[in-house]
């Protein structure tokens, strides 16, 4: 790392104390930019990096709501509007008790580069709340969402900031949020993505993140003359992204053998297929957060309190949450001679673990490239809303597939151009950065 970048990272740490995930995300991106900064002094003199780590706007607000017993609860709501150089802020909302400003800043920062890679005109943002949807009734979730939107509505809009789902926010929550926005603004617009199909949603958006990650893995395998068919896959999580990935892997003839939840992981030697994939939707909707139920129902092995990375497979696709692959997991992955690791979750691998995995010669794709199919299809939903038109599932899927192939090829060509052939992390960070940085230069000091 150059002295300049080291100093910048140190400043970010001092200025944003107690935000380790944000530090991690910044360090990973800046580490990739050495050669770019050497070749382009203009980014340094215009203080592009210093500007990129400072959100354009951060909104924090009180979210009061009443449970079914009439008791009052107060949660905290956030929206981080990180960067609007190439389009309106765009990014998901996360409802999870672990949500803090640092988590949302890391996600918003990643989103800026990810959205740039999609080839679509979207800036980066992220938001959410420390609200825990676990065990809440539909009515409680609705009241929470209505209260959340009663403040958020004044900060967002179809040309300003377009939120979507993330952990804990799916179709049900987007519906409640949209209903309240429409009521407050008296406007029916594409202000959120991930909407229901009858009211402005896009076909394939629910599946898109998982599908996209598998298309990306497929391209990675192709570079070694390999294909998805006949390969085994270790997945983590059991939510929206995991479900989409499992569906596409099964379609392409691969075999998913692991899934995980906060309680442990399951090992299903026969493969997660057919009704077993559908069952993931039931599990998620139950809000019980137990993957053990899968093992009980389909009679397979369950390992309490463990992660799935010790199981030997050809491909690893983490689909749950940040930093779920640490140093010990990396050792197991290397030991298992995994062919490729494709991140479907956001930053699921720690910096140390990712360095070990790439040093061992395992192909490694970062989430900001490999999971961009979710927000990419959100971009397609925005396009359809603007046209007041709907594409067929085939049309959307075809565009998603093209976006993922473009991102894959851009990562490789950029990595090559900047002296690190085959390094998807550098390729993604540099390509994502250049588009945003150049737009910022064009737009002057803002
Ligand atoms: P879901 O809420 O549908 O599922 C999330 C899964 O991860 C659940 O199994 C959840 O269990 C688990 N999980 C969440 N937090 C933790 C934690 N701290 N420890 C252990 N397990 C955890 O979310 P998604 O499938 O939408 O999101 C999964 C990942 O994909 C996230 O990293 C998200 O940022 C990323 N992503 C999502 C996109 C989308 O469009 N939805 C797009 C791109 C990336 P539990 O709730 O019990 O913690
Ligand atoms: O992390 C992500 O890219 C998402 N949660 C999806 C964001 C979006 O706006 O569709």
Among protein residues, the one whose CA lies closest to atom 41 of ligand 1:
166
State in Å: Cα 44 to ligand 2 middle: 29
- Provide the pLDDT for residue 188: 97
- Provide the pLDDT for residue 79: 98
What is the Cα–Cα distance from 432 to 115, expressed in whole angstroms? Answer: 8
Please give the average per-residue pLDDT across 259-264, as a whole number: 97
Site residues for ligand 2, CB cut-off 6 Å: 90-92, 111, 114, 164, 166, 193, 346, 374-375, 378
* Alpha-carbon 204 to chain mean position: 16
Ligand nearest to the CA of 245: 1
Count CB atoms within 10 A of the CB of residue 28: 22
Ligand nearest to the CA of 167: 1
Among protein residues, the one whose CA lies closest to atom 17 of ligand 1:
321
126 is catalytic: yes
Q: Would you call 391 helix, strand, or coil by DSSP?
A: coil
What is the Cα–Cα distance from 351 to 22, expressed in whole angstroms? Answer: 12
Pick the atom of ligand 1 nearest to 348's CA.
32
CB 298 within 8 A of CB 276: yes
Q: Where do you find CATH 3.40.50.10860 in the chain?
A: 57-188
Pocket test for ligand 2, best of 82, 90, 91, 106 (most atoms within 8 A of CB): 91
State in Å: Cα 168 to ligand 1 middle: 7
Q: Do β-strands 57-66 and 72-83 pair in parallel, antiparallel, or remain unpaired?
A: antiparallel
Burial class (CB in 10 A: 0-12, 13-18, 19+), 333: buried
Residues contacting 288, CB < 8 A, separation 6+: 134
State in Å: Cα 139 to ligand 2 middle: 25
Taking Cα atoms as reference points, which of 209, 59, 183 lies closest to residue 129? 59
Ligand nearest to the CA of 324: 1
State in Å: Cα 72 to ligand 2 middle: 30
Give the Å distances, CA to CA, from 155 to 78, 87, 354: 11, 15, 36
Instruction: Answer yes or no: is the C-beta of 209 below 6 A from any ligand 1 atom.
Output: yes
Number of H helices, E strands in the chain: 18, 12
- Provide the pLDDT for residue 288: 84
- Provide the pLDDT for residue 286: 86
pLDDT band at 280; cut points 50, 70, 90 = very high
Reading the block at residue 235, the tokens are 């997945």
CB 80 within 8 A of CB 105: yes
Pocket test for ligand 2, best of 112, 120, 165, 404 (most atoms within 8 A of CB): 165
CATH 3.40.50.10860 fits 57-188, yes or no: yes
Instruction: Answer yes or no: is the C-beta of 378 below 6 A from any ligand 1 atom.
Output: no
State in Å: Cα 15 to ligand 1 middle: 28
- Provide the pLDDT for residue 287: 81
Count CB atoms within 10 A of the CB of residue 285: 10
Taking Cα atoms as reference points, which of 93, 182, 131, 95 lies closest to residue 375? 93
Pick the atom of ligand 1 nearest to 98's CA.
18
pLDDT above 90 (res 53)? yes
Task: Name the active-site residue from 90, 105, 126, 368.
Answer: 126
The residue with tokens 């992204």 is 241
Please give the average per-residue pLDDT across 358-364, as a whole number: 97
In terms of CATH, what superfamily is 208-365? NAD(P)-binding Rossmann-like Domain (3.40.50.720)
- Provide the pLDDT for residue 1: 84
DSSP secondary structure, 362-393, as one string: -EEE-HHHHTHHHHHHHHHHHHHHHHT----H
State in Å: Cα 248 to ligand 1 middle: 18
CB 108 within 8 A of CB 122: no
What is the Cα–Cα distance from 109 to 430, expressed in whole angstroms? Answer: 14
Average pLDDT of the chain is 97
Q: Where do you find CATH 3.40.50.720 in the chain?
A: 208-365
Pocket test for ligand 1, best of 237, 378, 380 (most atoms within 8 A of CB): 237
Q: Would you call 333 helix, strand, or coil by DSSP?
A: helix
State in Å: Cα 393 to ligand 1 middle: 24
Residues contacting 328, CB < 8 A, separation 6+: none
Instruction: Answer yes or no: is the C-beta of 397 below 6 A from any ligand 1 atom.
Output: no
> How much is the pTM?
0.97
Reading the block at residue 48, the tokens are 């592009």
Among protein residues, the one whose CA lies closest to atom 9 of ligand 2:
91
């Amino acid at each position: 790392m150059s002295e300049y970048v080291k100093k910048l990272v140190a400043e970010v740490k001092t200025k944003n104390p107690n935000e380790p995930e944000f530090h991690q995300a910044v360090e990973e991106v800046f580490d990739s930019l050495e050669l770019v900064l050497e070749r382009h002094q203009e980014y340094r003199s215009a203080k592009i990096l210093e500007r990129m780590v400072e959100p354009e706007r951060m909104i924090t607000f009180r979210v009061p709501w009443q449970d079914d017993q009439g008791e009052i609860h107060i949660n905290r709501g956030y929206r981080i509007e990180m960067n609007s150089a190439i389009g309106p802020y765009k990014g998901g909302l996360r409802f999870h008790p672990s949500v803090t400003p640092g988590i949302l800043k890391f996600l918003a920062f990643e989103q800026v580069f990810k959205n740039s890679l999609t080839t679509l005109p979207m800036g980066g943002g992220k938001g959410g709340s420390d609200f825990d949807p676990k065990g809440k009734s539909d009515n409680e979730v609705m009241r929470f969402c209505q209260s959340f939107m009663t403040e958020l509505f004044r900060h967002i809009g179809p040309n300003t900031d377009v939120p979507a789902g993330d952990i804990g926010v799916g179709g049900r929550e987007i519906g409640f949020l949209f209903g309240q926005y429409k009521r407050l603004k008296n406007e029916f617009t594409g202000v959120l993505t991930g909407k229901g199909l009858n009211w402005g949603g896009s076909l394939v958006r629910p599946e898109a993140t998982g599908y996209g990650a598998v298309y990306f893995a497929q391209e990675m395998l192709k570079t070694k003359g390999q294909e998805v068919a006949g390969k085994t896959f270790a997945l983590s999580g059991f939510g929206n992204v995991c479900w989409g990935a499992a569906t596409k892997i099964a379609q392409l003839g691969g075999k998913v053998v692991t899934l995980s939840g906060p309680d442990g992981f399951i090992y299903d030697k026969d493969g997660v297929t057919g009704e077993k994939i559908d069952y993931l939707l039931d599990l998620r909707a139950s809000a019980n957060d137990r993957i053990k139920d899968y093992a009980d129902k389909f009679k397979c092995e369950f390992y309490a309190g463990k992660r799935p990375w010790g199981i030997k497979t050809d491909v690893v696709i983490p689909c749950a949450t940040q930093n779920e692959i640490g140093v010990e997991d990396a050792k197991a992955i290397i030991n298992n001679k995994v062919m490729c690791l494709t991140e479907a979750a956001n930053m699921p691998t720690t910096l140390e673990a990712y360095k070990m995995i790439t040093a061992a010669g395992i192909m490694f794709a970062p989430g900001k490239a490999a999971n961009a199919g979710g927000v990419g299809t959100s971009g397609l939903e925005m396009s359809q809303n603007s046209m007041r038109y709907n594409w067929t599932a085939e049309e959307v899927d075809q565009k998603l597939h093209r976006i993922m192939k473009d991102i894959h090829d851009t990562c490789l060509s950029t990595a090559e151009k900047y002296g690190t052939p085959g390094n998807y992390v550098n390729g993604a960070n540099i390509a994502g950065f250049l588009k945003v940085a150049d737009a910022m230069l064009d737009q002057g000091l803002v």
